[in-house]
A and B are shown apart, each in its own frame.
Chain A
Amino acid sequence: MVLHGLFGPSLAPKNLATTLVWLHFRGVLVLVLLCAGNFFCFVCPFMLVRQVARRLFQPWLAWPRKLRNKWLSAGLFVLILFLYELFDLWSSPWWTAWLIVAYFVAVLVVDGVFKHAAFCKFVCPIGQFNFAASTLSPLEVKVRDQEVCADCVTRDCIRGRRDPASELVVVQRGCELALFQPRKSGNMDCTFCLDCVHACPHDNVGILSRVPASELMGDPFRSGIGYFSRRKDLAALAIVFTFGALLNAFGMVSPVYAVESWMARMLHVTHEAPVLGLVFTAFLVAEPVLLLGVAAWITRTWAGSRRAMPALMTRYSYGLAPLGFGMWLAHYSFHFFTGLYTAIPITQNAIASLGRAYLGEPRWTLTGLPLRAVQPLQVGFLMLGLTGSLLVTHRLAQDDCGDHPMRAFVPWAAVCLLIWVGAIWLIFQPMEMRATFMTG
């Protein structure tokens, strides 16, 4: 992909880097997260670099305490979304290839210097996306029987299995993301690496099924994470995940160009960055603060919740994650299914460009499923997201305000419905892809 991105055709629909990354990878990623779990992190190609590097030298520093949260990674997530729009990454094989290279270098540097899985837990924007989405997945790596753990004295699932001859030699890593299995709850921060599964001497850890989104319905203490309700950084990630889904889709429809052109005229600017900055601020700061703020205020005044406004906003922000995931699914599955077969002619073309058409002449007319088959699926994903968000926020409202659960639920249900209406409006907008700014 990198080689084809750098040296292959400059036209995005003819290049493996742009097609596989922005069509197939993203589509498969969200569908696997929906149907199974965080299996991208499980097979993460960037980890190959880490494994090789750690055979050559050992990291020596602990990740800085002040950065042991999601602020940096949530910021990088926003940065990637911003760069995607600013540089129209979907239309540039060259930039896409360099993004992949930059990712490899970042993994090498961070995990070459810092111990454990610092990159996965505190830096990787794709990982954060996967963590947030996998809270809605039906599979989880967890303990089979808590009583077995109660009798365990070695705690190999987190310490790693040691060489009987020398306690300092680890023969099987334990969890590098600091998730102690008996107290782990849910998929947040779990990369499905299965180190804990292999390390457990009692074969008491496995990939087990569970109810999707169930981990969002309560607020237990979670190993390696703490309480969701006290993690403003995690709430910010949930907000970026949800509203970023709308923003990312908004960047691909006709109205965005009218809005950007209008803003540029008002601001008297000709460069896209300041306009895009304002659009991002509106979507990722103003809109969430307004919606969540009003809903939290109503929950306090009408339902009589004793929690402070910021605490309520933090707590209920996780309830919006299913809707966000529904939007990511609707968006990425659209590209994936409508361009499903395009990898075939591009691969044929890439092989043919080496000198001989071993796979035949490219069949450029192979594209994917028709729009009429994909759009009902998109609506279905959004319905699924809405249902999930309503169920989660209802459960949270029940826990919060036992006396008036419906009063606590109504404002959050209204927020969910508003987001859902916006999402439905978005997917029925005509798509308009531009790699140029303000063409009028």
Chain B
Amino acid sequence: MGPATVTVALRDATAKPVMGAHVTVEANMSHPGMSPIFRDAREIAPSRYQADLELGMRGDWVILLHIRLANGEKLERQLAIGVE
């Protein structure tokens, strides 16, 4: 519980790095009714995106990645994490 950093490396289907994307990280508790956290990720290196979050509660969180590629295409990815 506390500060957390989410780092995402974007690759396309041929494993080439994907640069210039806009990545928003959304963190949700698994229980409904909790306030979600939204943070825009910055590109800290080519194709690597990072956002700092403050996870205020222990338990299961779901991280949603809202990705808009340079060509305008939108993607979403979801991953579950446990916060101690």
Question: Which of the residues A13, A252, A435 comes within 8 Å of B32, measured between beta carbons?
Answer: A13
Q: How far is the CA of A254 from the CA of B31 in the complex (A)?
A: 14
Chain A min CB distance to B64 (Å): 8
Indicate if the CB atoms of A365 and B31 lie closer than 8 Å.
Answer: no
Question: Which of the residues B31, B38, B64, B78 comes within 8 Å of A433, measured between beta carbons?
Answer: B31
Within 8 Å CB of A11, what residues of B? Answer: 28, 30, 62, 64, 78
Q: Which of B28, B30, B36 has the most CB of A within 10 A?
A: B30
Indicate if the CB atoms of A364 and B32 lie closer than 8 Å.
Answer: no
Within 8 Å CB of B72, what residues of A? Answer: none
Within 8 Å CB of A364, what residues of B? Answer: 26, 36, 38
Indicate if the CB atoms of A436 and B57 lie closer than 8 Å.
Answer: no
The verdict on A166 contacting chain B, using a C-beta distance below 8 Å, is: no
The verdict on A342 contacting chain B, using a C-beta distance below 8 Å, is: yes
The verdict on A30 contacting chain B, using a C-beta distance below 8 Å, is: no
Q: Given A13-B36, A342-B33, answer yes or no on A432-B57 (Cβ-Cβ < 8 Å).
A: yes
Indicate if the CB atoms of A339 and B34 lie closer than 8 Å.
Answer: yes
Indicate if the CB atoms of A339 and B33 lie closer than 8 Å.
Answer: yes
Indicate if the CB atoms of B30 and A23 lie closer than 8 Å.
Answer: no
The verdict on B71 contacting chain A, using a C-beta distance below 8 Å, is: no
Q: Given A13-B28, A436-B82, answer yes or no on A430-B58 (Cβ-Cβ < 8 Å).
A: yes
Indicate if the CB atoms of B82 and A368 lie closer than 8 Å.
Answer: no
Within 8 Å CB of A254, what residues of B? Answer: 58
Q: How far is the CA of A436 from the CA of B81 in the complex (A)?
A: 10
Interface 9-mer from A14-22, A57-65, A168-176, A419-427: A14-22
Question: Which of the residues B36, B38, B60 comes within 8 Å of A435, measured between beta carbons?
Answer: B60
A23 to chain B: closest residue by CB: B33
Within 8 Å CB of B14, what residues of A? Answer: none
Indicate if the CB atoms of A91 and B35 lie closer than 8 Å.
Answer: no
Q: Given A13-B28, A365-B38, A434-B82, answer yes or no on A335-B33 (Cβ-Cβ < 8 Å).
A: yes
Number of A residues near B (Cβ < 8 Å) is 31
Q: Given A430-B58, A432-B58, answer yes or no on A91-B36 (Cβ-Cβ < 8 Å).
A: no
The verdict on A431 contacting chain B, using a C-beta distance below 8 Å, is: yes
The verdict on B29 contacting chain A, using a C-beta distance below 8 Å, is: yes
B35 to chain A: closest residue by CB: A367
Indicate if the CB atoms of B57 and A431 lie closer than 8 Å.
Answer: yes
Contact with A along B56-67 (1 / 0, CB 8 A): 011110101000
Chain A min CB distance to B41 (Å): 17
The verdict on A338 contacting chain B, using a C-beta distance below 8 Å, is: yes
Indicate if the CB atoms of B57 and A23 lie closer than 8 Å.
Answer: no
Within 8 Å CB of A365, what residues of B? Answer: 35-36, 38
Indicate if the CB atoms of A12 and B32 lie closer than 8 Å.
Answer: yes
Q: How far is the CA of A440 from the CA of B64 in the complex (A)?
A: 24
Within 8 Å CB of A367, what residues of B? Answer: 33-36
Within 8 Å CB of B35, what residues of A? Answer: 365, 367
Indicate if the CB atoms of A91 and B60 lie closer than 8 Å.
Answer: yes
Question: Which of the residues B29, B57, B59, B84 comes within 8 Å of A13, measured between beta carbons?
Answer: B29
A21 to chain B: closest residue by CB: B32
Chain B min CB distance to A411 (Å): 38
In B34-68, the 8 Å CB interface with A consists of 34-36, 38, 57-60, 62, 64
> Can you name 9 A-B pairs with beta carbons within 8 Å?
A11-B78, A13-B34, A23-B33, A254-B58, A338-B33, A367-B33, A433-B60, A434-B59, A436-B82
Assuming A19-B33, A367-B34, what are 18 further A-B pairs, CB within 8 angstroms?
A: A11-B30, A11-B62, A11-B78, A13-B33, A13-B36, A14-B28, A23-B32, A88-B30, A90-B31, A335-B33, A338-B33, A339-B34, A365-B36, A368-B33, A431-B57, A431-B59, A434-B30, A439-B84
User: Which residues of A are at the interface with B, using a C-beta cutoff of 8 A?
Assistant: 11-15, 18-19, 22-23, 88, 90-91, 252, 254, 335, 338-339, 342, 364-365, 367-368, 430-436, 439-440
User: Which residues of B are at the interface with A, using a C-beta cutoff of 8 A?
Assistant: 26, 28-36, 38, 57-60, 62, 64, 78, 82, 84
Give 5 nearest A-B pairs by CB, closest first: A339-B33, A433-B31, A367-B35, A19-B32, A433-B59
